[in-house]
Chains A and B, each alone.
Chain A
Amino acid sequence: MSIPDLSVELAGIKLRNPVMTASGTFGYGEEFAEYVNLESIGAIITKGLSIKPKAGNATPRIQETTGGMLNAIGLQNVGIDAFIEKKVPFLRSVSTPVIVNFFGNTVEEYAELAERLDKIPEVAGVEINISCPNVKHGGIVFGTEPKAAYSVVKVVREATIKPVIVKLSPNVTDIVEMAWACADAEADALSLINTLTGMAIDLNKRRPILANVTGGLSGPAVKPVALRMVWQVAKAVKIPVIGIGGIMTGTDALEFMLAGATAVQVGTANFLDPAASSRIAAEMENYLVENGISDVKELIGALDI
């Protein structure tokens, strides 16, 4: 059998395979270049960017939990000026599409960032973070209220001609309602899920382990929740959905595609296996070969219920 087609198209961005790296788990790509062939993955999504550099939260910021990890980094990032000056030159050397995740404190900041990113040729698309659970401003305010989400997506849509992905929070009553609001505001794609708000406690100290008290849960532990939400949202909207949540293997990724995802993002797995994204793409290919499937797109939404 010939080599199966793993390519997918996402809002006009051509991906050689459906595997992208989730924002905040892959730095700016450069950090991982020693361990993974960046040319073997679908897209790189960079660490959430703000206008000004952001300090992030106090430590401890991370804690391993059963089958997962909690993080409360607090969106620490270099800011857009340093991103352009120090990070873009490396990304220019990679042919893999680069999608920039960003966030603001206000609708105006979202618009300003979208305008500035629109001018950077190395940026293939943007991912709006309206779902970080670990900061008071910048994200979650817009991520839990459909009207607020609509207004943010709308201004970003007007500020850039690049594909706009909106990353959704699972910490809402009805994720489909949020998805509809973003689709109405002409988002090109939706990515979900961001982390689930969680907590870890030190019994002997009688204190929360994270300085931020709560944090976002990621890793294999969240996969069933993510699959359910991807399935719900993919049924409800016409735009492509990107599945995220505890993907560790090619099997996991293909399950998300059956649930309706056009592509996937690998997050926590990058931390324990820096080559995870590339390995997962290879495992997907193996599955297709072994099962005589010539095109991965055949599996999108092919869940038999």
Chain B
Amino acid sequence: MQFRAMIIANQEVSPGYFRMRMTAPQELAGSKPGQFIMVRVRDAIDPLLRRPFGIFDVGTMPSEYPGCAPATYLEMLYKVVGKGTEALSTYHHGDHVDILAPLGIGFDLGDPDEEKILVGGGIGIAPLYYLAKTLVERSRVRFFLGGRTRDDILCVTEFERLGVETYVSTDDGTLGDRGLVTGVMEQHIKEDGRKKTIYACGPMPMLKAVAEIAQRTGTSCQVSLEAYMACGMGACLGCVVKGKDHADESPDYRCVCKDGPVFAFDQLMWV
């Protein structure tokens, strides 16, 4: 659906990273973890296109007005990378943005009896918080969070507060273990032999490494992809990725916006 959201808070949680809370229609409370939103940053032609963001959280909060029903909120976590996110970072309580949401296919929550392994790299943790919040009610959840340096490690306390076992690593060792998040994750998951599903979001090299581990260990795995896109509804075909059966003569392109952004790792072509 399309709606105008009022910004409630827009806080810099780490240098260059912002967490924004907005009002949302009640229907948004039914969003699935892994779905995303398209934000029109300004009612102008620059920036022109909407920007896609994962849903960091949705929920209800007490109304500002005593006696009124609780209101629905929507949160996103974003990194300032260009014109669109720079403009967003200047917004305050009371400003408005136009939103299309919820879009795409979310994560498959799967079997509650198996263990859930969440892997996030940098800003890639954005869709994993709402996922963790949903999963932790039914399953054991371990969260592996990596980044280049300590400033890229976000919202650890929030995940811990959910009751998720959180493991931090940085490439330069400034916070948590030194090394790649995928290495840390593989060490932790290999010993126990219990059935698991991996949920991952982050930069492409990280996702490739996660997919390799899933393949090697026979673990089921879902990845959430990021892509440039113009529309978010399957029309521009700008955000496609190659599906597992792709060949030039029989194309198997999947739209990240509509067929994803979450894919089972074995549905994609990883070369």
Binding site for B on A (CB under 8 A): 24-27, 31-32, 34-35, 47, 53-56, 59-64, 66-69, 71, 73, 76, 219-220, 248, 268, 270-275
Contact B240 A59 (CB under 8 A): yes
Q: How far is the CB of B25 from chain A (nearest CB, A)?
A: 14
Q: Is the interface of A mostly helix, strand, loop or mixed?
A: loop
Q: Which residues of B contact A64 (CB under 8 A)?
A: 47-49
Q: Chain B residue with minimal CB distance to A275?
A: B2
14 CB-based A-B contacts, threshold 8 Å: A32-B235, A56-B253, A59-B239, A59-B241, A63-B228, A69-B49, A69-B230, A71-B236, A73-B236, A76-B251, A220-B45, A271-B230, A272-B40, A275-B2
Chain B hits for A59, CB < 8 A: 227, 238-241
Per-residue A-contact encoding for B231-271, CB less than 8 Å = 1, 0 else? 10111111111000010101101000010000000000000
Contact B100 A35 (CB under 8 A): yes
Give CA–CA (A64, B230) in the complex, Å. Answer: 8
User: B35-56: which have CB < 8 Å to A?
Assistant: 40, 45-50
Q: Considering the complex of A and B, which 4 residue pairs feature the smallest CB-CB distances, nearest first?
A: A55-B251, A62-B238, A27-B235, A271-B230
A34 to B231, CA, bound (A): 14
User: By the criterion CB–CB under 8 Å, are B237 and A73 in contact?
Assistant: yes
Residue of B40, B235, B239, B253 ringed by the most chain A CB atoms within 10 A: B235
Inter-chain CA distance A3–B32, complex, in Å, is 44
- Given the known interface contacts A64-B49, A66-B46, A219-B48, the answer about A31 and B235 at a Cβ–Cβ threshold of 8 Å is yes
Q: Do A76 and B237 touch across chains, with their CB atoms under 8 A apart? A: yes
> A53, A56, A271: which contacts B231 (Cβ < 8 A)?
A271
Q: Identify the closest chain A residue to B98 (Cβ).
A: A273
In the complex, A273→B2 CA distance in Å?
A: 9
Is A61's CB under 8 angstroms from B237's CB?
A: yes
B136 to chain A, nearest CB (A): 32
Q: Closest CB-CB distance, B84 to chain A, in whole Å? A: 8
Pairwise interchain contact A272-B50, C-beta atoms closer than 8 A: yes
B81 in the interface (beta carbon within 8 A): no
Expressed in whole angstroms, the Cα–Cα distance for A275 and B100 within the complex equals: 11
- For the complex, give the distance between the alpha carbons of A55 and B48 in Å: 27
CB proximity of B98 to chain A, nearest CB, Å: 8
Of B48, B49, B233, B251, the residue contacting A56 (CB under 8 A) is B251
- A34: B residues at CB distance < 8 A: 1
Given A55-B248, A271-B49, do A27 and B230 touch, yes or no (CB 8 Å)?
Answer: no
CB of B248 within 8 A of CB of A68, answer no
| CB-defined contacts of A26 to chain B, threshold 8 Å | 235
Instruction: Give the interface centre of B40, B100, B233 by most chain A CB atoms within 10 Å.
Output: B233
Q: Which of A53, A62, A273: most chain B Cβ within 10 A? A: A62
| B229 at interface, CB cutoff 8 A | yes
Q: Are B48 and A27 in contact (CB under 8 A)?
A: no
With beta carbons under 8 angstroms apart, the residue of A31, A32, A272 that contacts B48 is A272
Shortest beta-carbon distance, A142 to chain B, in Å? Answer: 23
**Within the assembled complex, what's the spacing in Å between the Cα atoms of A13 and B45?**
33
B residues 185-239 near A (Cβ < 8 Å) are 227-231, 233-239
Interface residue from B229, B230, B240, B241 paired with A76 (Cβ < 8 Å): B240
